[in-house]
Chains A and B, each alone.
Chain A
Amino acid sequence: MDMSQYLDLFIDESKEHLQTINERLLELEKTPEDMSVVNDIFRSAHTLKGMSATMGFEDLANLTHQMENVLDGIRNRRLSVTPELLDVIFEAVDHLEAMISSIAAGGDGTRDVRGTIELLKRIEQGEMPNKQAAREEPPLEHAYGEFEYHVLEQAKEQGFSVYEIRVRLRDDCLLKAARVYMVFEQLNEVGEIVKATPPVEMLEEEQFDREFLVTVVSKSPADELQKRLMGISEIDEVKVSRLLSDEPSAESEKAAEQPAVMEQAAAVQAEAEAPEKQTAKQATKMIRVNIERLDRLMNLFEELVVDRGRLEQISRELNHAELTETVERMSRISSDLQTIILNMRMVPVETVFNRFPRMVRQLARELGKKVRLEIIGADTELDRTVIDEIGDPLVHLIRNALDHGIEAPDVRAVRGKPEEGIIQLRAYHSGNHVFIEIEDDGAGISREKVLQKAKSRGIVSPQAAEHLNDQQIYELIFAPGFSTAEKVSDISGRGVGLDVVKSTIESLGGTVSVDSQPGKGSLFSIQLPLTLSIISVLLVQIAEETYAIPLSSIIETALVKKEEIFSAHNQPVIDFRGKIVPLVRLKDVFAVPGAADDGDAVAVVIVRKGEKLAALAVDSFIGQQEVVLKSLGNYLSSVFAISGATILGDGRVALIIDCNALVK
């Protein structure tokens, strides 16, 4: 049976289940006694297992299966919920997420999860795993996928022995790749190499330190292999260990059988419990719609709006009462329709926010901090296009708050604060914007440190620094090349700074600002447009052509007299409030046909890109308008200084000017 047609559905639903599991697990940590929460998790895991088994994703199914067993133990009160146990389950969920993403990306969803399965098994048998011990594995260890493991087992059944051989080259070994080659050569004479860690390509390029690991199936005894390899010069040490040597395989079979029975019982139980909960959840009925279809609907609708405009005009000219009335009715209905269509693209920020509780929990544990994440306004809606982009900047800011903001519990105690820090994530509407704020009650931003760093990095000159107020100093942390981290930590030192956050948000047409009170905490505030598909523009005329300039880039418009235009090294410039600003003649840039020379005065639009300004010369201003942003299509993928197009009331297309390309 061809399953590919169900793949999208599978991926969507799996993600939903994982999300439920994630949320519910966090809840469980707070209320470990609440069995209804465990049941929810169990049900989601169970469904996930069934789906993945049907779709043929074995590793996924196996891991969920084992997770289910542990959850079942909790349900039956054989196991108690501890942070360690949850850590392992979260680890399993991480694996599941990675597998699903791999499947979504077109992969096969295989992944080495034996370590996690092993931990889950031990938990199931009532043994609390010491994670530290489990983690302290030798630095080099083969990781076998389920499939590889299977191959090895088969080889063993056919009378081969499976060896893991650790080879260590001498410190002074010069041609490492050559030694690797010789080792492989020797091993191939007596057996077959199944796997190498690091992979062969890396070994050939000498991309390893001194040690590597190979897995070999062979009929020769271990000491013979040992002898053969030690015969090669410049080899320091060879350790041969047998893999899959004895009984455990039989035992694991038994172990696998047993849960299957349990699982059946559990499934029956789950089904029996399901109905009561479901009635509560059925409140909202949903349907999945491809966003492209919505776009098409929107396009057709705009066409309708253009025709509506024509009809309105005709009815005005004819002055026919009944016609006017009908057209007015149609206008009202269509504007209601427009609102509905626009609303369909709106998604609650919840879809982004819901990954943060989990992230905060994990980071807090890693950093040894106590943090509570409060989310307010998760039902605030934003355009789908904005939602897709806003996740990463938020992750960055939250990591930042945890890493640099919230202090360690003992420090907080000394400062007279509760040990548990609070990070508040808020979203709300205001006018035509959505605000997202991240506030922590941590140490705040140190004015002095920021200044010192900014000066040492040359971001601000010592003279200029004198005149900055607190706010301006805090804003410095968004400058490229700035990082407040004293040392590069695993959490925020990922090579990107807040400047990336700022530029991402600005590319969405939004702004980000920061405020802080030393010792009390910091507040990052992001302002975003409700939707990216509608922007405010200034329409301008150049000869016969109409162009749109986004209002977000415009500082102001002005009329400049001819004698106020100077020339600096052949570049026309104007004096704008004491600043010399280059004058860009759009008719030249766009080679507009039939454009006349400048008159006595030139209409200019002052635009900015960061701190830099430019004056765009046009023929005349038409006015401000809200327009729907459209792309030029795939054939015209990159046109200089044009960022897109829009359709005007008369049905014609006007191009939108990309001011960033025009400001040098």
Chain B
Amino acid sequence: MTASVQADWKVIAFRLKEEEYALPVQHVRSIEKMQPITRVPGTAHYVKGVINLRGVVTPIIDLRERFGFAPEPYGEQTRIIIAALEDMEVGLIVDAANDVLDLPAESIEPPPEAIGSVEASYIDGVAKVENRLLILLDLAKVLDR
């Protein structure tokens, strides 16, 4: 777990498969509806291509495929979360983007050891808010190739 977890976190919560994930707001530029994606040949299978985001060509990653889940057809709820890490900007396709939450520092715990699957390395921690369990994503790891 990173040191920054000391303070409260403001996060964007989103759904992927049946689970809820979260990204710190400072990494999130905007949330977009699905739009035409131009395929870029010769890239990883989870890179769906690029979109025109208000004049900036932005790469799009399908988070389901990035985590090795089965792909699902995109629907009404599908969203692209535009996330930024330093000078890198990418769009992440998620099943639905729900809301913005404040996570008190004490609600955040290190990722459970037992998860042990591929996805574990992308996880910065888990947080329990009321009856919801949120998985905090480590964006740097998600973008790492």
Instruction: Answer whether A652 and B57 are a contact pair too, CB < 8 Å, given A639-B42, A641-B42.
Output: no
Structural contact, B51 and A653, CB atoms closer than 8 A: yes
A34 within 8 A of B: no
CB of A640 closer than 8 Å to a CB of B: yes
A273 CA / B43 CA spacing, docked (Å): 65
* Bound CA–CA A300/B41 (angstroms): 27
Give A653 to B54 CA distance when docked, in angstroms.
11
**Are the CB atoms of A647 and B52 closer together than 8 Å?**
yes
The residue that A302 contacts in the complex, of B41, B50, B55, B143, with Cβ under 8 A, is B55
Let me know if A591 is at the binding interface, CB within 8 A: yes
CB atoms of B50 and A545 under 8 A apart: no
**CB of A605 closer than 8 Å to a CB of B:** no
Least distance between B20 CB and chain A CB atoms (Å): 25
Contact B47 A636, beta carbon cutoff 8 Å: yes
The residue among B42, B54, B55 with the most chain A CB atoms within 10 A of its own CB is: B55
Contact present for B55 and A635 (CB under 8 Å): no
Closest residue to B42 on the A side, CB-wise?
A640
For A645, the chain B residues whose CB sits under 8 A away are: 38, 50, 57
Check if B47 sits within 8 Å of A299, measured CB to CB: no
Which residues of B (53-94) have their CB < 8 Å from a CB of A? 54-59, 87-90
> 1/0 contact trace for A21-64 toward B, CB 8 Å?
00000000000000000000000000000000000000000000
Chain B: minimal CB distance from A647 (Å): 5
> Do A592 and B41 touch (CB < 8 A)?
yes
Residues of chain A within 8 A of B59, CB atoms compared: 632-633, 635-636
Residues of B within 8 A of A299 (CB): 54-56
Residues of A within 8 Å of B36, CB to CB, are 651-652
Closest Cβ of chain A: how far from B89's Cβ, in Å?
Answer: 6
Task: Report chain B residues within 8 Å CB of A301.
Answer: 55
Tell me whether B40 is interfacial, beta carbon within 8 Å. Answer: yes
Residue pair B57, A639 in contact (C-beta under 8 Å) = no
B38 contacts A652, C-beta separation under 8 Å: yes
Min Cβ gap B74→A in Å is: 16
Partner of A636, one of B40, B54, B55, B56: B40
Q: Tell me whether A654 and B40 are in contact (CB under 8 A).
A: no
Contact yes or no, A545 B88, CB < 8 A: no
Residues of A within 8 A of B90 (CB): 633, 635
B39 within 8 A of A: yes
Chain B proximity of A62: nearest CB distance (Å) = 38
Interface residues in A572-603 (C-beta closer than 8 Å to B):
589-593
How many residues of B are counted as interface, with CB atoms below 8 angstroms from the partner's CB atoms? 23
A148 at the interface (CB under 8 A from B): no
Chain A stretch 627-644: residues in CB contact (< 8 A) with chain B: 630-636, 639-642
Known A633-B90, A645-B38; judge A653-B52 contact (CB<8 A). Answer: yes
Contact A651 B52 (CB under 8 A): yes
* A641: B residues at CB distance < 8 A: 41-42
Interface 1/0 per residue, A269-306 and B, CB below 8 Å:
00000000000000000000000000000111111001
Q: Does A655 contact B (CB under 8 A)?
A: yes
Give residues 522-546 of A contacting B (CB, 8 Å).
545
Q: Count residues on chain A whose CB falls below 8 Å from chain B CBs.
A: 31
Shortest CB distance A152–B (Å): 44
B50 (CB) vs chain A CBs: closest residue:
A653
Q: Which of A306, A591, A633 has the most CB of B within 10 A?
A: A633
Report the minimum CB–CB distance from A575 to chain B (whole Å).
Answer: 28
Inter-chain CA distance A642–B47, complex, in Å, is: 15
Given A632-B59, A634-B88, do A639 and B54 touch, yes or no (CB 8 Å)?
A: no
Min CB distance A620 to B, Å, is 18
Neighbour of A591 across the interface among B41, B50, B52, CB < 8 A: B41
In the complex, A630 Cα to B39 Cα: how many Å? 16
User: A264 vs B16: C-alpha distance in the bound complex, in angstroms?
Assistant: 72
* A633 and B52 contact, Cβ closer than 8 Å, known pairs A639-B43, A645-B38: no
A589 to B40 Cα, complex, angstroms? 12
Listed by A's residue number, 12 A-B pairs whose Cβ atoms lie within 8 Å are: A590-B41, A630-B57, A634-B87, A635-B88, A639-B41, A640-B41, A640-B42, A641-B41, A642-B40, A642-B42, A653-B50, A653-B51
Q: Which residues of B are at the interface with A, using a C-beta cutoff of 8 A?
A: 36, 38-43, 47, 49-52, 54-59, 87-90, 143
Given A303-B55, A652-B52, 18 more contacts at CB 8 Å?
Answer: A299-B56, A545-B39, A590-B41, A591-B41, A630-B56, A632-B50, A633-B56, A633-B59, A633-B88, A634-B88, A635-B90, A636-B40, A640-B41, A642-B41, A647-B52, A651-B36, A653-B52, A653-B57
